[in-house]
Amino acid sequence: MTIEEHINYWIESAEHDLSTVDALFEAGKYDWALFIGHLVLEKVLKALFVKQNKNKIPPKVHNLVRLSELSMLELDNEKKIFFDRVNDFNLEVRYPEYKKEFYKFCTKEAAEENLKKIKESFQWIQSLLK
């Protein structure tokens, strides 16, 4: 696979997941919309990793802050804190000990606010790939 094909693989997958985010949000499945939102950022960061690391296979890492570092993406403190919070969306939906608290957090308003920032971050990172 060429570097362009490899990057496009991750971007197309992330864009597909973005449409899933919207469908889940509309269905009121805010916890799962946030979970998939994490995947969107993970995939666009993996596309950036491919670009910055000359077509290497991205690591099997899900931590967005760590992926940013490995992709040579400098995050300001605000973005670092946000990415760290989005990491929780990946974990808290998966493990029973966190689910109850996560469900309480996942109001329509909280999901809307976080998904807006996820989409903005996706567009920002995607712009770095051009």
Which sequence spans correspond to the domains of the chain?
3-127
38 token code pair: 């994490």
Instruction: Band the pLDDT of 100: cuts 50, 70, 90.
Output: confident
User: 0.85 exceeded by the pTM?
Assistant: yes
124: which DSSP letter?
Answer: H
Task: Please write the tens of the pLDDT for every residue from 84-95.
Answer: 999 999 876 676
pLDDT band at 102 (very low <50, low <70, confident <90, very high): confident
pLDDT digits (tens, 9 = 90+) for 10-64: 999 999 999 999 999 999 999 999 999 999 999 999 999 999 999 999 999 999 9
Provide the angle, in degrees to the nearest 10, between the axes of the packed helices 108-127 and 30-52. 10
Q: Which of 90, 98, 109 is nearest to 45 (CA)?
A: 90
**Which CATH superfamily hosts domain 3-127?**
Nucleotidyltransferases  domain 2 (1.20.120.330)
Residue with token string 């296979």: 57
> Residue 45 is encoded by which pair of tokens?
């960061």
